[in-house]
Copies of this chain bind each other. A is one copy, B any other.
Amino acid sequence: MNLKDKIRVINDFPMPGLRYRDITTLLRDPEALRELVDRMYEALKDRQIDVVVGPEALGFVLGAAVAYRLGAGFVPVRRPGRLPGDTYRYEYQIEQGRSDTLEIHKDAIEKGQRVAVVDDLLATGSTALASCQIVKQMGAEVAAVCFAMEMTMYSGRELLEGYEVFSAIKY
């Protein structure tokens, strides 16, 4: 199955001139969803993953399905103020000098656990890198970083140098 055929292109979203790849048309297709999750599972299955970390919000979709398939746990990384327990906050730079903040529960990951960071999209890689750095600061190991789609023109893979990076679909 060519998964690209299932991804809709939306022109001028979220800004004029951009071609947004809308993964929701893939997710709603049972065979395509299964194929995508299975490809991500194949990339991770021999890496002894204890926990999948998924950034809000589409990282929840693929992260949870991949965690279930792996027999791993799932840990959400969220925007500030949305997790109910004690959290670590992590502020990081995104494009154009702006910053963003992620939170994770302090007890979400144990020292020494092997973690896969899973998200829908690798573009600049800033959110994934922040998620990796959170995991490392908690004393756990980033065993892999795994995406549904990769936009190679943004060179996110370079920002993630030193990590094992996998993407199921490349543009």
- CB neighbours (8 Å) of A68 from chain B are 33-34, 37, 65, 68-69
Instruction: Tell me if B84 and A27 are in contact (CB < 8 A).
Output: no
The count of residues in chain A whose C-beta lies closer than 8 Å to any C-beta of chain B is: 46
Task: Say what secondary structure dominates the interface of chain A.
Answer: mixed
The stretch of A6-14, A90-98, A130-138 in contact with B is A6-14
Instruction: Tell me if B60 and A58 are in contact (CB < 8 A).
Output: yes
Which chain A residues in 91-141 approach chain B with CB under 8 Å?
105, 107-109
Distance between Cα atoms of A105 and B108 in the complex (Å): 33
- CB neighbours (8 Å) of A8 from chain B are 85
The stretch of A72-80, A153-161, A162-170 in contact with B is A72-80
Distance between Cα atoms of A15 and B75 in the complex (Å): 24
Instruction: Identify the A interface with B (CB < 8 A).
Output: 8, 10, 13-14, 20, 22, 24-25, 27-30, 32-34, 37, 50-51, 54, 56-58, 60-65, 67-69, 71-76, 78, 82-85, 105, 107-109
